[in-house]
Structure 1
Amino acid sequence: MTANPWIQDVAFPDCENSHVGKICLQMNCNSDCVHILRSIVAVMTARTGMSELQSNRVAIAVDELFANIASHAYDGKPGKVEFECRIDESSDSGGELIIDLRDYASCNWSGCLEEAASRTIDHENPCPGGLGLKLICAVVDECEHTRLPDGNHWRLIFKFNGRTNT
């Protein structure tokens, strides 16, 4: 257990001989955790060599998804969230920054990501709902959602070229 009441556990697996590895974090769903997630995103996108624009897009997607989990899955109440961020360089053409968020909410999202991504926005008469997912889908290379018996699993994938800054 860490000293911060919102953080439940932090792990840095597979990092013994590398500055890349992955970062795993268990936290209570709380708006203060956004600052921690942004810090992790900044470090990991810098390690991939992503531009500032790309890094900001990753941060926007993570912020929005975390806010959706807090607001919709947990309805603003405390709840456990697992966050994992890792760099996969197995492709010769570049790599992927993979971000997983997993909640344990009793509410499972049952929508369609393709519909959320293709939703038309009426700029003269905007209506709430679904805009966050549209934003997420607009800035990620891939977005996946899996309904679990005890929550939701979200995966955001961002592609980058070149090797990491190790």
Structure 2
Amino acid sequence: MIRLRYATMPSNGGSRTSTGTIQTPPTPMADTSTEPEVQLRMFSQPRFLAAVRALVGTMAQRLGFTEMQCGQISLAVDEALCNVITHGYERRPDGQLWINFWALEGEPTGLKIVIEDLATQVDPDDIQPRDLDDIRPGGLGVHIIREVMDEVNWERRSPKGMRLTMIKRLQPGRNSELKNE
């Protein structure tokens, strides 16, 4: 099950929030200064990953990222979610994940993505990429995330779970206006 929450602008210039049925995300939120533009809740089931990749790619495209960057950002989010599903929730299908998105304004513009869960905690210092000389299938998620994103930060949540904050900035000179397609 995937539930989506997003901010909308009514015609009178005010603001409102449209929501489907959504469980309140774990507290504290990753960024309490502003609500995320898009908030997604999903269960720890790989069958929902394609929908999340599509959403991430579309958001990145609308913010002005290149097609290649959109694919890379989607891949980084997919790898992060796979790690939570596989390692944090040990493939249990009832774990919950919250994915929050902010369009970064100012210079440089970009996209901030925060993934929160209630899974098994790990020491953030222990989250290291596998040695690239160790050739075998799998295990490159952390490497991909760190290579693709400009900022990456894992932290423990209280009392349980983890939070991953990822930021990708637009390169100077790219059109960073929200596209109205």
What's the TM-score, normalizing by structure 2?
0.74
Give deviations 1:96-134, integer Å, cap 9, x for gaps: 2011111111x1121427x725x6421xx4367853111
1:16 match:
9
Using the TM superposition, give the Cα deviation of residue 138 of structure 1 relative to its aligned residue in structure 2, in angstroms: 0.7
Gap change, CA 1:25 and 1:10, over 3 Å in 2 = same
List runs of 5+ in structure 1 lacking aligned partners. Answer: 1-5
Gap change, CA 1:34 and 1:129, over 3 Å in 2 = closer
Runs of 4+ in 1 over 3 A off after TM superposition: 127-130
Q: Secondary structure at the match of 2:155?
A: strand
What's the TM-score, normalizing by structure 1?
0.80
Q: Give the conservation status (yes or no) of the 8 Å contact 1:104–1:150.
A: yes
Aligned equivalents of 2:109 and 2:9: distance in 1? 21
Q: Give the conservation status (yes or no) of the 8 Å contact 1:116–1:131.
A: no
Which has more helix, going by share of residues? 1
Give deviations 1:61-80, integer Å, cap 9, x for gaps: 01100000000000000201
1:108 match:
121
1:121 match:
132
Gap change, CA 1:35 and 1:151, over 3 Å in 2 = same
Matched residue count: 150
Task: Check if 1:158 corresponds to 2:158.
Answer: no
